[in-house]
Amino acid sequence: MTLDGKVALITGGTSGIGKATALLFAEHGAKVAITGRNAERGAAVVAACEAHGAAALFLAADLTDSAVCAPLVAKTIAHFERLEMLVNNAGITHAAGTLETTDAQYFEQVAVNVTAPFLLSREAARAIKDQGGGAIVNVASDLGLRGEKGITAYCATKGAVIQLTRAMAIDQAEDNIRVNAVCPGEIHTGMLEGAMLDRGYTVEDGLAMLRERIPIKRIGKPEEIARAILFLASDEASFCTGAILSADGGTVAR
């Protein structure tokens, strides 16, 4: 698979799945713009991309603010002069059930997990259409395909991302823009470790508990999800649009 010369905007690109995706895209020849809140981590990812010979750009952004979405796309195009790929990866979770979720927690998850992908995709689709086509990949979750106790709002937002993917794929098909989603299961990231602590586990005990629930008995790696994203963004997936790809070690299948 090659992304030679193509430009990708990847949200949440300073850590976890987003970082792994940025590095993998860079290895395969893409120019990469990443967003995040931490400038130091952003600079480190840019340097790592550049070490692979790829041009890279960090754009500081807090995606709870919908006003930043259109400028992110505009700044990417201003810097690289084009845009062919968008990866909506940034996400946030609060470990809280229906009765425990505060208004602030609910609206924050909706803003980052649903509103930002919609607004960014809308802006990116206009630019990608002008380039003759491309791809949008949304990072949803296995929790958008199944329920889970104590994480109600997150499940709801990731289910919304899946439906956004399907509907947008139909809308943009005539523009030669493919829109697909990856649904990761339990992936060893800082966000997962934080979720374990929020639920009252130690990180070690929490990960051990999760491993027992996964049919293949291990936690996934960010690089494994990055490879799924790479496939859907590349021309190798030229007949895939509206697809929902589970990468969860068999969790949803069970």
Tens digits of residue pLDDT in 87-136: 999 999 998 999 999 999 999 999 999 999 999 999 999 999 999 999 99
pLDDT attached to residue 142: 97
* Three-state secondary structure readout of 38-102: CHHHHHHHHHHHHHCCCCEEEEECCCCCHHHHHHHHHHHHHHHCCCCEEEECCCCCCCCCCCCCC
121 plus 79 within the same structural domain: yes
**Average pLDDT of the residues of the chain:** 95
pLDDT band at 210 (very low <50, low <70, confident <90, very high): confident
79 and 164: one domain? yes
DSSP H helices in the chain: 16-27, 39-51, 69-80, 103-110, 116-130, 152-172, 190-198, 203-213, 222-233
Higher pLDDT, 197 or 223: 223
| 64 and 178 share one domain | yes
Q: What whole-number distance in Å separates Cα of residue 204 and Cα of residue 198? A: 13
**Domain annotation covers residue 56:** yes
Strands 177-184 and 56-60: unpaired
Q: Are 93 and 125 part of one and the same domain?
A: yes
Q: For residues 142 and 55, state if they share a domain.
A: yes
Q: Which residue in 25, 58, 106, 154 is the catalytic one?
A: 154
Find the range with the poorest average confidence among 173-177, 199-203, 211-215. Answer: 199-203
- d(CA 80, CA 83) in angstroms, rounded, equals 8
Query: Are 81 and 207 within one domain?
Result: no
Report if residue 249 sits inside a domain.
Answer: no
pLDDT at 197: 81
CA distance 134 to 234: 9
Asked, for residue 252, whether it belongs to a domain, the answer is: no
In this structure, the answer to whether residues 212 and 158 fall within a common structural domain is: no
Q: Answer whether residue 166 is part of any domain.
A: yes
Residue 253 falls inside a structural domain: no
Query: Do 146 and 195 reside in the same domain of the chain?
Result: no
Q: Is residue 156 part of a domain?
A: yes
CATH code, domain with 61:
3.40.50.720
Residue 180 located in a structural domain: yes
46-74 pLDDT per residue, tens: 999 999 999 999 999 999 999 999 999 99
192 exposed, middle or buried (CB, 10 Å; 0-12, 13-18, 19+)?
A: buried
60 and 155, same domain (yes or no):
yes
Over residues 18-32, the mean pLDDT reads: 98
Tell me if residue 154 is catalytic.
yes
Q: Are 59 and 166 contained in the same domain?
A: yes
Asked whether the beta carbons of 12 and 45 are under 8 A apart, the reply is no
Shared domain check, 156 and 45:
yes
DSSP symbol at 145: T
**Which amino acid is it at 18?**
G
Residue 144 host element (H or E)? none
Number of domains in the chain: 2
Parent domain of 192: 186-219
Whether the pLDDT of residue 199 is over 80: the answer is no
* Within a domain: 250: no
Residues 187 and 221 sit within 8 Å (Cβ to Cβ): yes
